[in-house]
């Protein structure tokens, strides 16, 4: 490499990036967009007389990928994984499974082959940490939503690492796709298990000793050298260098010294990551993106709709209120750094797959514009969604979080111990089902030929027999999956709302609704994952149609359960209202009276009383104007006004001084509602 040309290219790239990123920050646009524009300026596809050599920039860009993944690993820990998986991890599986499946189907509809469609599904399924972080700096989001969004991003990054390792081998391989995936999965498991096993014994102690030397340059050189070494080992195993760099950062994080390493690596990471995005911009062909504008718009729609729906639904099912769920869904409607790496893999495939590079950059540019706009309107959208829900769903939404709060309370027997056997069986049945489908699809010609000889039938009849036979073999595993999922849901629901040892079961309606809600969440997490894995081997839309059919069946059952729940809550609200009226006459504590109602009629959530003060924020305001459920998640189930009880009051009811409200919801929701009801007027 000519050193003078290298210096010229580096200076050109950094100066162009400096100008464009400053301009983007002035215009309140994502910095990533500035880097991409810089790449377009110095690239060969625009009529500007400044050209950098792609070979030089590509080498520097690979360093950017490695350092970016190393930094993500530094922010990651195995303990964090254990904390993320039950909530944000499930959301990530739902969202990634949904967008991956939609992206694959859209790409197939536009004529891309199976491998290119796989890459298209992968590149639209991972959000951009950089764009989200930049947007959060400019927008005021509540802390809970911010923390949950970053939890989903960490889980997505982990999924992306596995995608990169698998897709890199898929692009490099030839021959049977199923054999490539199986071999890659085997190498991946052995590499990760061996590296973590050996690394956790050696690396933490070694890096603690290096930190003890108190020499920053020594720690920096050792850390970056360790990062590149593991990246090379991963490359030698036919895996992605990004995986090796990520694991290097994770091992250092487990040593407890990440806080010393991160400030040293951060400037290097920022510079080389910027060069990485510039290199992406250099390869962007605007003319090619214009030729493929229908595919660009279709994949952009997949990102906007698929991610917002997947994240919103998954976040709500994890126990977050509607407001937080919608804010999280609107925050992750973009693609970014991982998508560019995945799109670069397409260059190793056919020219048709190579189209994805410019398509991915165009989608990233469009979604980087739309993300801040959607985030600014997320709270208004959340309030609109909450107000437009049918009444049975409003009741369910107001209570679901409180049930999960009961489920998370510490007990003598942990929730994990109750479900781990059922969860292991569920995953085993799911793996067997996916394995049977993939094996049958890969060996379909051989199977058809054998059936044709055995039964002396034509090819079409043999094909039908093969499909029916595969379905019959899969059916027992599908039934076992449903039973295992229901068993898990029933155990968790009984933990949250224990049935009485004898007598009338007053908690039956909320417990049944919770069981069905947990079943839907499990189907989305596991079912969409199975669809994502198996759909490249199946006829178009067959796997998504099957999941949609099962989901529709569960949704009908859930709607009936929600209607029963509404009746249960109505009865509980009547009791609470009359208790408040009687308590008002005796001048006793209303909270103590509501605690008795909560005990006698479980499933209504935490009940708390609040008295409207004269001149306070609630005085002379309607419930619709206060909008407590939309803003805090708490619901007013009853109002005591002197001797007159108001049961489940509508939004048109105007509160007066002296009214006693019965609030229902999670502990956090009730605390937030009390704060809004007592906050002095500005």
- Determine the Cα–Cα distance for residues 463 and 471; give it in Å rounded to an integer: 12
Count of residues in the chain? 682
CATH 3.30.70.1450 residue ranges of the chain are 571-678
- The pTM assigned to this predicted structure is 0.79
CA distances from 612 to 591, 619, 661 (A): 15, 6, 8
Distance CA 641, CA 639 (A): 6
* 665 Rama class: left (phi>0) / alpha (psi -120 to 50) / beta: left
Q: Where in the chain is the domain with CATH 1.20.1530.20?
A: 3-44+56-388
CA dist., res. 202 & res. 191, Å (int): 16
Contact residues for 261 (Cβ-Cβ < 8 A; gap 6+): 74, 207, 219, 220, 223, 252
What lies within 8 Å, CB to CB, of 177 at 6+ separation is: 114, 115, 170, 442, 536
The pLDDT of residue 304 is 92
The rounded distance, in Å, linking the Cα atoms of 455 and 465 is: 10
- HEC profile of 23-71: HHHHCCCCHHHHHHHHHHHHCCCCCCCCCCCHHHHHHHHHHHHHHHHHH
Give the pLDDT confidence score for residue 300 in this predicted structure. 93
Would you put residue 499 in left (φ > 0), alpha (ψ -120 to 50) or beta? beta
Highest CATH level, class, for 3-44+56-388:
mainly alpha
Give the integer Cα–Cα distance in Å for 604 and 318: 19
Q: First vs last Cα of the chain: how many Å apart?
A: 66
As its CATH architecture, domain 571-678 has: 2-Layer Sandwich (3.30)
Q: What is the mean pLDDT of each run of 10 residues along the chain (682 residues)?
A: 72 86 82 82 72 70 78 71 71 87 88 82 83 70 74 78 68 53 65 75 84 87 89 77 80 82 83 79 78 90 91 85 85 81 67 73 84 83 80 82 80 76 88 86 82 79 83 87 89 85 76 86 82 76 72 79 79 73 58 66 75 82 81 80 74 82 81 78 49
- The count of other CB atoms within 10 Å of the CB of residue 235 is 14
Query: The tokens 């359960």 sit on which residue?
Result: 561
Q: What is the largest CA-CA distance in the chain?
A: 92
Report CA torsion sign: 230, 232, 237, 238: positive
């Amino acid at each position: 490499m000519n050193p003078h040309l290298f210096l010229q290219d580096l200076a050109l790239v950094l100066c162009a990036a400096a100008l464009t990123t400053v301009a983007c920050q002035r215009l309140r646009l994502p910095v990533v967009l500035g880097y991409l524009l810089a790449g377009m300026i110095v690239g060969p596809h625009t009529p500007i007389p400044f050209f950098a050599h792609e070979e030089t920039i590509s080498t520097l860009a690979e360093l950017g990928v490695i350092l970016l993944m190393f930094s993500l690993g530094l922010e990651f820990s195995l303990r964090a994984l254990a904390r993320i998986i039950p909530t944000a991890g499930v959301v990530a599986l739902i969202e990634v499974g949904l967008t991956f499946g939609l992206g694959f189907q859209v790409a197939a509809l536009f004529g891309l082959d199976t491998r290119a469609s796989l890459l298209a599904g992968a590149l639209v399924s991972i959000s951009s940490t950089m764009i989200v972080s930049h947007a959060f700096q400019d927008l005021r989001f509540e802390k809970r939503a911010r923390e949950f969004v970053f939890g989903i991003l960490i889980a997505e990054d982990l999924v992306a690492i596995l995608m990169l390792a698998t897709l890199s081998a898929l692009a490099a391989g030839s021959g049977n796709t199923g054999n490539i995936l199986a071999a890659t999965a085997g190498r991946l498991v052995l590499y990760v298990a061996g590296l973590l096993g050996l690394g956790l014994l050696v690396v933490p102690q070694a890096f603690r000793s290096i930190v003890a030397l108190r020499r920053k340059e020594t720690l920096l050189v050792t850390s970056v050298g360790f990062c590149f070494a593991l990246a090379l080992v991963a490359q030698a195993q036919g895996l992605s260098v990004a995986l090796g760099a990520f694991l290097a950062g994770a091992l250092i994080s487990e040593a407890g010294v990440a806080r010393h390493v991160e400030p040293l690596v951060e400037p290097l990471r920022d510079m080389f990551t910027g060069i990485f995005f510039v290199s992406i911009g250099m390869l962007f062909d605007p003319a090619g993106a214009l030729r493929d504008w229908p595919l660009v718009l279709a994949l952009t729609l997949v990102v906007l709709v698929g991610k917002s729906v997947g994240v919103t639904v998954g976040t709500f099912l994890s126990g977050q209120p509607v407001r937080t769920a919608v804010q999280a869904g609107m925050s992750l409607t973009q693609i970014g750094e991982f998508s560019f790496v995945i799109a670069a893999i397409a260059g190793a495939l056919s020219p048709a797959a190579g189209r994805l590079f410019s398509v991915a950059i165009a989608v990233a540019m469009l979604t980087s514009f739309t993300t801040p706009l959607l985030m600014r309107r997320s709270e208004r959208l959340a309030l609109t969604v909450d107000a437009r829900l049918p009444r049975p769903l409003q009741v369910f939404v107001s209570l679901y979080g409180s049930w999960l709060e009961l489920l998370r309370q510490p007990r003598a027997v942990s929730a994990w111990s109750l479900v781990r056997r059922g969860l292991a069986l569920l995953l085993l049945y799911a793996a067997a089902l996916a394995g049977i489908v993939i094996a049958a699809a890969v060996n379909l010609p051989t199977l058809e030929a054998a059936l044709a000889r055995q039964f002396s039938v034509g090819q079409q009849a043999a094909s039908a027999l093969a499909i029916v036979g595969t379905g019959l073999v899969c059916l027992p595993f599908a039934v076992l999956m449903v039973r295992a999922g229901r068993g898990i849901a029933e155990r968790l629901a009984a933990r949250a709302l224990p049935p009485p040892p004898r007598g009338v079961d007053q908690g039956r309606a909320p417990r049944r609704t919770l069981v069905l809600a947990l079943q839907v969440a499990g189907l989305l997490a596991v079912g969409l994952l199975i669809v994502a894995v198996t759909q490249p081997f199946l006829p178009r839309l067959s796997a998504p149609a099957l999941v949609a059919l099962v989901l529709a069946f569960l949704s009908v059952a859930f709607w009936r359960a929600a209607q029963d729940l509404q009746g249960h809550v109505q009865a509980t609200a009547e009791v609470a209202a009359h208790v408040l009226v009687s308590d008002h006459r005796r001048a006793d504590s209303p909270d103590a009276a509501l605690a008795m109602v909560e005990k006698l009629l479980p499933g209504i959530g935490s009940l708390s009383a609040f008295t409207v003060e004269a001149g306070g924020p609630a005085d002379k305001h309607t419930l619709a104007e206060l909008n407590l459920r939309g803003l805090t998640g708490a619901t007013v189930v009853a109002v005591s006004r002197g001797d007159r009880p108001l049961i489940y009051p509508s939004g048109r009811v105007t509160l007066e001084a002296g009214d006693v409200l019965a609030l229902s919801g999670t502990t956090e929701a009730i605390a937030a509602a009390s704060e809004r009801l007592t906050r002095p007027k500005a």
